[in-house]
Chain A
Amino acid sequence: MIYCIFAYNLDVDIMAYTEEELKKNLETQEYEYGFYTDIDAETFPVGLNEKIIRKISEKKKEPKWMTEWRLESYEAWKEMEEPDWSSLKYEKPNFQNISYYSAPKQKPNLKSLDEVDPELLKTFNKLGISIDEQKRLSGVAMDVVVDSVSVATSFKDTLSEKGIIFCSISDAIKDHPELVRKYIGTVVPQKDNYYAALNSAVFSDGSFCYIPKGVKCPMELSTYFRINQAGTGQFERTLLIADKESYVSYLEGCTAPSRDENQLHAAVVELIALDDAEIKYSTVQNWYPGDKKGRGGVYNFVTKRGICHDRAKISWTQVETGSAVTWKYPSCILKGNDSIGEFYSIAVTNNFQQADTGTKMIHLGKNTKSTIISKGICAGKSQGSYRGLVKISPRADNARNFSQCDSLLMGNNCGAHTYPYIEAQNKTAQIEHEATTSKIGEDQIFYCNQRGIDTEKAIALIVNGFSAEILNKLPMEFAVEAKKLLEISLEGSVG
């Protein structure tokens, strides 16, 4: 099952742990998905220049406008400077030392899974993904992206009956250029920020999804990312369009093999929810976080943004447990009247991990609503930050926002920070923001003890309560496994 990718040590009964053991276990727990598959991959020489971009474009048989679009982005990127306003400390990646294209060599025109490189299939099996099983059991259609190139797409037929387009963005550029051209870069412009510009120039693949008017997507769509090749950056681009009155729930899972050097991941996700549409976007991110000493790990610099038209709704849910450095702010532009934006997040950091994450809710339309629930759990020597913006523009009458950011700290070497920006320019706005930081209170534990629940169970219980609000937002299939994963991670984080 796909979910196993982020579930480590699941077979251990957590209740059997003592707090100390849990802590120890968490500290020594090595990354279980840190294996490297020897797939015959085609990798470009390192470095970034106009030639490389043209070559990527050519390789992907892209139309001319796409090549031009990439080059425009590259020109813009050259002029930009790497941002340094976050409280993150990391070694800046050398962009000339990265290979911008790495694709598993494929036989042309794959018709069935049998034709896929057997090594690649083994990778999936190691990860616990059987695409066949996937098809049979769960009804989740997957678009698997290994090192940025979409390898296998399942359930295409079932989806296409409904008129749903779910394919790699490369195919979309070829097969549905009018849609891609109309929407790409409209939510995250090429020059939006340093990493978005870089992604726009060099994105190698990603997913594309279009839900036609009035269609409710019958299954959860899922993309799964994995960085495989050493020295490659993962630059995928996701474009998801929900036409009027449609609904889609989209899942995204990520892992990477463990390596000593830092790998870069700079993705761009654009969501477009037209009138009355609803998009539910869930992420479980479990990139390689680096080892106990803070070596290696993935830099996760992602731009995610959605735009809501009239009465549309976008809901972001994220469970962030991996990456050495996470820098991401899934945002909603509430452009239409009566539109709704939601953000639910759990970020768990351990060892030397750093997570700077949050959201932006830009209220432009009337009667717009947004909810932000962010939970941070920090252990080891990690640092977790919530950084968010709630902006009510002068014309956004009756805007409503509720934000809550809670942090749990474990140990004396970690830090939890909150940087909420709230800008209100309309008197009818109603905004609440709340944040708390604490460890689990002795009185809380005492309360449980007094009622016959031992300390370990009490901690599990409290932590479960702490995170339940977010986990419940995940689609059923994800929630069960994510809950187990988090229980273990969270268990070690408090005490």
Chain B
Amino acid sequence: MDFKEKLLDSHLAFEQDVDLLHPIHDYRKKALKRFESDGFPTKSDELWKYTSLASIIQKDYHLSPTSESNIELKDVKKYFLNDIDSFKLVFVDGIFSPFLSKTTHDGMDICVLSAAISKSKYKKTIKKYFNKVVPENESLSSLNTSYTREGAYIFIPKNMEPEDPIQILHFSTGAQKSIWLQPRNLIVMEANSNVQIIERHQSLSDHKVVTNSVTEIYADSNSHVDYYKIQNDLLTSSLIDNTFISQEKDSNVSVHTFSLGGQLTRNNLRFYHKGSNISSTLKGLTILEAKQHVDHNTLVHHAKPNCESHQDYKGIFSDSSVGVFNGRIIVEREAQKTNAFQQNNNILTTDKSKINTKPQLEIFADDVKCSHGCTIGQLDKQALFYLNSRGIPEKEARALLTYGFANNVLESVKIPNLNKRIKKLIAYKLGVNLGFDL
């Protein structure tokens, strides 16, 4: 039995555990039908031209953990941001861990989706927002929708701002030899609200794990969202991250993606504009080695006038790693005075590394400024020599230049602790220890 059939068959068992009368169950059923007809994307699908899921979906996965696994705080503490007593939503093998988490209902809701589904006071919000920005034609999102059960639920009302950044952490323990996780996050920001969110997926042993995650973000007028995705998982885990963002007027959403680990990572990041004066920022830093494969597939849909979008993706590829960047900007006829910018720079350091990039513009309005730039090259030999000649060893010199290359993405990280953490991760990845801050 292939994995698609298993997913379809197992849905019956899944249905026994959920409330079939809840309105979102209609979405589940509809999405399952859609997935049944669409199936997994293949390379003949233009959006998946450079990324094959074949190696992932050939295998068999458990769809839910057979037993609850307990993990100690000390096992996972290092994945929390140090010194921050922040709100945390921790999921272990897809199941919420109240013991490791810190939630609140005080003035705002930072809790889990299963609670929001089951309690009637959230019904209105769920009905208004759930699955409203997820496109129907993306089969992996449909698959996630059909298995919607657990994930983060964040609701920030008007004029509110949580004091600390919110961390969403997904751990998989390896209690099963292989597991397929499908978290579903819903984030609703009312007018003038503010939030910073850090999301991380981490496996704790070298078992097979695939995460097919969907995150919906609704940013109402003048709200600010800073979303950071840290992808530094083990080489045995893969991640398909689907993030859909709907922005109202004057809102400002930025998403930073740091892709450092994982076997196969696919980021479907989509911004939909619903009002004017919107600003969207998409930044990514990818540093790969071994046989890693990262695919950034972005879309910014400019539908209203006077909006801005900035995309800046940097990639450094060594060993036999493969990078893919497919950035799409669509500017509708109504979206006059759009300012859309897209930049993708790549460095290949070995003979076997590959990069496929396709920065794409589709423009239907005339009074716009849209540009994209893309480069592929190596570290500047003269710059390296300059550093070498001043007594900086080869490895450190390379690291310095790499930092310089990546700095554009790092400088807009607004959480100082996170910034430091990422720099450390990069230093570790490059095998150097730089004794100063950059």
A residues contacting B by CB (< 8 A) are 85, 87, 394, 407, 409-439
| Cα of A265 to Cα of B43 in the assembled complex, Å | 31
- CB distance A422 to B374 under 8 Å? yes
B357 at the interface (CB under 8 A from A): yes
A424, B366: Cβ atoms closer than 8 Å: no
How many Å from the CB of A114 to the closest CB on chain B? Answer: 53
Residues of A within 8 A of B360 (CB): 417-420
Q: Give complex CA distance A411, B365 in Å.
A: 8
Do residues A415 and B364 form an inter-chain contact, with CB atoms below 8 A?
A: yes
Residue of A nearest to B350 (CB): A427
Asked if B346 CB lies within 8 Å of chain A CBs, one says: yes
Taking a contact as CB atoms under 8 Å apart, the answer to whether A437 and B357 are in contact is no
Please tell me if B372 contacts chain A, counting CB pairs below 8 Å.
Answer: yes
Q: In the complex, are the beta carbons of B351 and A424 less than 8 A apart? A: no
* Interfacial chain A residues near B377, Cβ < 8 Å: 429-431
Q: CA–CA, A435 to B359, complex, Å? A: 9
Contact in complex: B361, A435 (CB < 8 Å): yes
The interface residues of chain A lying within 8 Å CB-to-CB of B355 are 422-424
User: Of the candidates B336, B351, B353, B374, which one forms a contact with A431 in the assembled complex, judged by CB atoms under 8 Å apart?
Assistant: B374
Residues of A within 8 A of B354 (CB): 423-425
Asked if A436 and B370 make an inter-chain contact with CB atoms under 8 angstroms apart, the answer reads yes
Residues A431 and B376 in contact, CB atoms below 8 Å apart: yes
Taken together as a complex, chains A and B put the C-alpha atoms of A439 and B363 apart, in Å, by 12
Q: Which of A428, A431, A432, A437 has the most CB of B within 10 A?
A: A437
Asked, given contacts A394-B351, A439-B367, whether A421 binds B374 with beta carbons under 8 Å apart, the answer is no
**Cβ of B370 and Cβ of A438 under 8 Å apart?**
yes
Residues of A contacting B364 with CB < 8 Å?
Answer: 412, 414-415
Residue ranges of B at the interface with A (Cβ–Cβ < 8 Å):
46, 50, 333, 336, 346, 348-378
A437-B363, A437-B370 known, 15 other contacts, Cβ within 8 Å: A85-B46, A407-B363, A409-B368, A412-B333, A416-B363, A418-B361, A421-B357, A421-B358, A424-B346, A425-B354, A426-B351, A434-B371, A434-B372, A438-B368, A439-B368
Q: Are B350 and A431 in contact (CB under 8 A)?
A: no
Q: Which residue of A lies closest to B370 (CB)?
A: A437
A420 to B352, CA, bound (A): 23
**Nearest neighbor of A419 in chain B, beta-carbon distance:** B360
Q: How far is the CA of A47 from the CA of B375 in the complex (A)?
A: 49
* CB-defined contacts of B371 to chain A, threshold 8 Å: 434-437
Measured between beta carbons, the chain B residues less than 8 angstroms from A427 are 348-351, 353, 378
For A436, list chain B residues within 8 Å (CB).
369-371
- Name the A residues within 8 Å of B369 (CB-CB): 436-438
Q: Give Cα A435 to B365, complex, Å.
A: 16
A424-B348, A427-B349, A430-B376 are known contacts. Are A412 and B361 too (CB-CB below 8 A)?
no
Residues of B within 8 A of A414 (CB): 364, 366
Q: Which residues of B contact A429 (CB under 8 A)?
A: 348, 376-377
Q: Which residues of B contact A87 (CB under 8 A)?
A: 362
> With A and B bound together, what is the CA distance between A235 and B368 in angstroms?
40
**In the complex, are the beta carbons of A433 and B374 less than 8 A apart?**
yes
Instruction: List the 6 closest pairs (A to B, CB-CB), nearest first.
Output: A409-B366, A427-B348, A431-B376, A433-B374, A418-B361, A436-B371
Smallest CB–CB gap between A52 and chain B, Å?
Answer: 33
**CB distance A424 to B361 under 8 Å?**
no
Q: How far is the CA of A427 from the CA of B379 in the complex (A)?
A: 10
Name the contact of B373 in the complex, choosing from A410, A426, A433, A437 (C-beta under 8 A). Answer: A433
Note all chain B residues with C-beta closer than 8 A to A431: 374-377
Q: Contact between B366 and A412 (Cβ–Cβ < 8 Å)?
A: yes
Residue pair B372, A435 in contact (C-beta under 8 Å): yes
A-B contact pairs, 15 of them (CB 8 A): A85-B46, A409-B363, A409-B365, A409-B366, A412-B336, A418-B361, A420-B358, A420-B360, A422-B356, A422-B358, A427-B349, A430-B377, A431-B376, A433-B359, A435-B372
By the criterion CB–CB under 8 Å, are A412 and B365 in contact?
yes
- B residues less than 8 Å from A416 (CB atoms): 361, 363
Residue of chain B at shortest CB distance from A415: B364
- Chain A nearest Cβ from B315, distance in angstroms: 11
Is B366 within 8 A of A411, CB to CB?
A: yes
- Across-interface contacts of B333 in A (CB, < 8 A): 412-413
B336: chain A residues within 8 A (beta carbon) = 412
Residues of B contacting A423 with CB < 8 Å? 50, 354-356
Whether B362 pairs with A417 at a CB distance below 8 angstroms is yes
- A488 vs B334: C-alpha distance when bound (angstroms): 28
**Judging by beta carbons under 8 Å apart, are B376 and A418 in contact?**
no
Cβ-closest chain A residue relative to B366? A409
Bound form: Cα–Cα A410–B46 in Å: 29
CB distance from A322 to the nearest CB of B (A): 23
User: A418 to chain B: which residues have CB within 8 Å?
Assistant: 359-362, 372
- Residues on A with C-beta less than 8 A from B378 are 427-428, 430
A494: nearest chain-B partner, CB-CB = B366
Asked if A422 contacts B368 (CB within 8 A), the reply is no
Shortest Cβ distance from residue B203 to the other chain A in the assembled complex, whole angstroms? 30
Tell me the minimal C-beta distance from A358 to chain B in angstroms: 12
When chains A and B are docked, how far (Å) is the Cα of A344 from the Cα of B374? 19
Within the assembled complex, what's the spacing in Å between the Cα atoms of A426 and B354? 7
Which A residues are in CB contact (< 8 Å) with B346?
Answer: 424
Residues of A within 8 A of B362 (CB): 87, 415, 417-418
Cβ–Cβ < 8 Å partners of A420 in chain B: 358-360, 374
Kindly list chain B residues whose C-beta atoms are within 8 Å of the C-beta of A430. 376-378
Question: Judging by beta carbons under 8 Å apart, are A421 and B356 in contact?
Answer: yes
Please name all residues of chain B whose beta carbon is closer than 8 Å to the beta carbon of A421 when the two chains form the complex: 356-358
Query: How many Å lie between the Cα of A431 and that of B336 in the bound state?
Result: 32
CA distance A431 to B356 in the complex (A): 12
Q: Is the CB of B367 within 8 A of A419?
A: no
| Most chain A Cβ neighbours within 10 Å, of B352, B360, B378 | B360
Min CB distance, A241 to chain B, in Å? 34
